[in-house]
């Protein structure tokens, strides 16, 4: 596989990060955070890296180590998950298709020396149905060690999000994204990518923070990774990303309410609807007798426009 250093760098504001993502399927933000932050996080996670057995399976690869639930392992995670420009860029990509985004997973990844590159894949393929033009997920790779073409830097195929019918693409079109700690690589769920092969003597370590449409089943169940006793210490925005916020209409609820109630912020309440405006309107019309058998389904989308939904 031919690997080149990343040759295309986005600006640091959300709009230019998102524009680069839309055009190329990936976007590198140089110096997104001070390198001391990934340094502190990497130190906090080092004992877990050391204690974690190698992964098993043709996809993960036996030359890797992985563990999850990173928000529960270090308070340093907040600065990464809530990075303002990156989070806003992710929202620009995903929020046209959902009310709110959610965390799909947090995963620490070590690529040990040797082994094989990961099979190229598109992360959106974990969900079986795709609507053309809809993005389901944005990943953010944060390196803890330098990522180089020889130590297993993440490989992306620029433009592959426009070529969804191709399962694999030419090695010559691949880009090994070289990064330093503090840089971040964003890529779409529709972008073909893989972890590279590590031809050095030292491990490559980093993590993926993955955000998805808020109504999808996430890769990692946040309520198990972060039960209320852990999530109640999160700031509200982080708790919402970690599953403690209902998605209209009434998705991801607990006891009929927004799951934030499980964090003790709303006292004791009965079931409460969380509906979109056009759904409220549709119910109102039904109650008023304005919807009759034979009323076309198209009425629904007309209502959505009328209600600004």
Ligand X SMILES: O=C(O)CCC(=O)C(=O)O
Q: Give contact residues for ligand X (rule: CB under 6 A).
A: 109, 118, 154, 193-195
CB of 243 to ligand X, least distance (A): 21
Nearer to ligand X, 183 or 278 (CB): 183
One DSSP character per residue, 95-156 reads: GGG-SSEEEEEEEEEEE-SBS-PPPPB-GGGGSS---TT---EEEEEEESS-B-TTBT--EE
Specify the DSSP class assigned to residue 60.
Answer: T
User: Which long-range contacts link 237-246 to residues 24+ away (Cβ below 8 Å)?
Assistant: 237/82, 238/71, 238/78, 238/81, 238/82, 239/263, 240/100, 241/81, 241/82, 241/101, 241/102, 241/103, 241/211, 242/71, 242/102, 242/103, 243/102, 243/103, 243/218, 245/100, 245/214, 246/274
Nearer to ligand X, 115 or 277 (CB): 115
Q: Which is nearest to 146 in space by CA: 42, 1, 21?
A: 42
CB of 276 to ligand X, least distance (A): 33
Nearer to ligand X, 77 or 109 (CB): 109
Nearer to ligand X, 130 or 300 (CB): 130
Nearer to ligand X, 25 or 195 (CB): 195
Pairwise CA distance, residues 36 & 267, whole Å: 40
Nearer to ligand X, 185 or 282 (CB): 185
Nearer to ligand X, 68 or 300 (CB): 68
Pairwise CA distance, residues 73 & 182, whole Å: 19
The answer for residues whose C-beta is within 8 angstroms of residue 82's C-beta and 6 or more apart is: 235, 237, 238, 241
Q: How far is CA 223 from the centre of its chain?
A: 16
Q: What angle do CA 195, 197, 201 make, to 5 degrees?
A: 125
CB of 44 to ligand X, least distance (A): 20
Specify the DSSP class assigned to residue 274.
Answer: -
CB of 118 to ligand X, least distance (A): 6
Nearer to ligand X, 109 or 282 (CB): 109
CB of 93 to ligand X, least distance (A): 18
CB of 79 to ligand X, least distance (A): 21
Nearer to ligand X, 117 or 262 (CB): 117
CB of 259 to ligand X, least distance (A): 27
Nearest residue relative to ligand X (C-beta): 195
Q: Which two tokens stand for residue 210?
A: 């993955």
CB of 15 to ligand X, least distance (A): 26
CB of 147 to ligand X, least distance (A): 8
Pairwise CA distance, residues 170 & 218, whole Å: 31
User: Which 3 state secondary structure label does DSSP give 209?
Assistant: strand
Cβ atoms within 10 Å of 58's Cβ, excluding its own: 9
């Amino acid at each position: 596989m031919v690997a080149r250093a990343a040759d295309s760098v986005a600006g640091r504001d959300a709009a230019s990060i998102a524009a680069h993502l839309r055009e190329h399927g990936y976007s590198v933000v140089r110096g997104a955070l001070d390198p001391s932050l990934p340094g502190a996080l990497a130190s906090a996670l080092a004992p877990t890296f050391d204690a974690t057995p190698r992964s098993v399976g043709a996809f993960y690869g036996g030359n890797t180590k992985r563990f999850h639930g990173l928000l529960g392992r270090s308070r340093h995670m907040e600065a990464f998950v809530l990075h303002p420009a990156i989070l806003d860029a992710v929202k620009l990509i995903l929020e046209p298709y959902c009310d709110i985004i959610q965390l799909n997973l947090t995963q620490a990844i070590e690529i040990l020396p040797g082994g094989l590159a990961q099979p190229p894949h598109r992360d959106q393929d974990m969900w079986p149905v795709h609507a053309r033009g809809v993005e389901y997920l944005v990943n953010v790779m944060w390196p803890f060690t330098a990522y180089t073409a020889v130590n297993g830097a993440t490989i992306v195929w620029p433009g592959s999000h426009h070529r969804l019918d191709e399962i694999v693409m030419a090695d010559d079109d691949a880009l090994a994204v070289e990064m330093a700690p503090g840089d971040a690589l964003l890529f779409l769920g529709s972008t073909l990518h893989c972890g590279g092969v590590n031809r050095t003597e030292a491990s490559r370590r980093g993590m993926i923070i993955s955000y998805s449409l808020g109504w999808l089943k996430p890769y990692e169940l946040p309520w198990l990774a972060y039960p209320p006793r852990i999530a109640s210490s999160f700031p509200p925005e982080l708790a919402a990303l970690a599953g403690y916020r209902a998605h209209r209409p009434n998705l991801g609820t607990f006891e009929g309410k927004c799951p934030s109630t499980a964090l003790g912020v709303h006292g004791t309440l009965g079931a409460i609807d969380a509906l979109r405006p056009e759904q409220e309107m549709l119910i109102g019309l039904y109650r008023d007798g304005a919807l009759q058998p034979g009323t076309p389904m198209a009425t629904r989308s007309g209502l959505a426009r009328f209600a600004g939904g």
